[in-house]
Amino acid sequence: MPLYEYSCRSCGERFEILQRLGENGDHLACPACDHSEVEKVFSTFAAGAQSAGAGPGPAAQAAGCCRGTPT
């Protein structure tokens, strides 16, 4: 189940919502101020999630110059 991040247009609060496929977010409301105008945020760090857990170490340095997928 995908986890989406939303940002409140009223107070700027950011919160995450577990959302099923095909489900609209028109019923969402900000948990901080209960404002209903929220916009979806595509977090950039999600792209690097596959490297999470490795941490800063020799592995990260080794993959620094050539982080292609081994074939």
Which SS3 state, helix, strand or coil, does residue 16 take? strand
The answer to whether residue 41 forms part of the interface with Zn ion (CB under 5 A) is: no
Q: Would you say 6 and 16 are in contact if contact means Cβ atoms under 8 Å apart? A: yes
> Among residue numbers 1 through 30, which ones bind Zn ion (CB under 5 A)?
8, 10-11, 13, 30
**What DSSP state is assigned to residue 25?**
S
d(CA 63, CA 2): 28
36 binds Zn ion (CB under 5 A): no
Among 3, 23, 25, 33, binds Zn ion (CB under 5 A): 33
Residues making contact with Zn ion (CB under 5 A): 8, 10-11, 13, 30, 32-33, 35
